[in-house]
Amino acid sequence: EAQVTQNPRYLITVTGKKLTVTCSQNMNHEYMSWYRQDPGLGLRQIYYSMNVEVTDKGDVPEGYKVSRKEKRNFPLILESPSPNQTSLYFCASSLSGTGGIGEQYFGPGTRLTVT
């Protein structure tokens, strides 16, 4: 089954404790992306990757890191989480080409709480 998986689905952590949220897709998609979703603010892109070893900042990259060492995986790293990073996080993937980005397939989401 074609899918995007994220782990963990729920996470409660404390300020400053490094964490990683994993994202994996089995569709051989070039483009992968991380979003956060907050009430009233909608989906905001954190980082995206056009392909292996190519990553770029989205609209809200501060406090986050990503890496794209393999095509299928795109982990999101919070080196020193703070309470303002409490949010619902989504990973997504899609095909991409000269015409742009195709339909995005989203993961189930990771609800992160930083106390």
Partner 1 sequence: SQKIEQNSEALNIQEGKTATLTCNYTNYSPAYLQWYRQDPGRGPVFLLLIRENEKEKRKERLKVTFDTTLKQSLFHITASQPADSATYLCALMDSSYKLIFGSGTRLLVRP
Amino acid at 102: G
Taking the complex as a whole, how short is the minimal distance between the CB of residue 105 and partner 1, in angstroms?
7
Q: Select from 11, 34, 37, 12 the least CA-distant residue to 23.
A: 34
Nearer to partner 1, 3 or 82 (CB): 3
74 touches partner 1 (CB under 8 A): no
DSSP letter string over 63-101?
T-EE--SSSSB--EEESS--GGG-EEEEEEEE-EETTEE
Choices 13-21, 33-41, 68-76, 78-86 (CB under 8 A): range interacting with partner 1: 33-41
**Is residue 59 part of the contact set for partner 1 (CB under 8 A)?**
yes
Residues near partner 1, by CB under 8 A: 4, 31, 33, 35, 40-45, 48, 50, 56, 58-59, 88, 90, 92, 96, 99-109
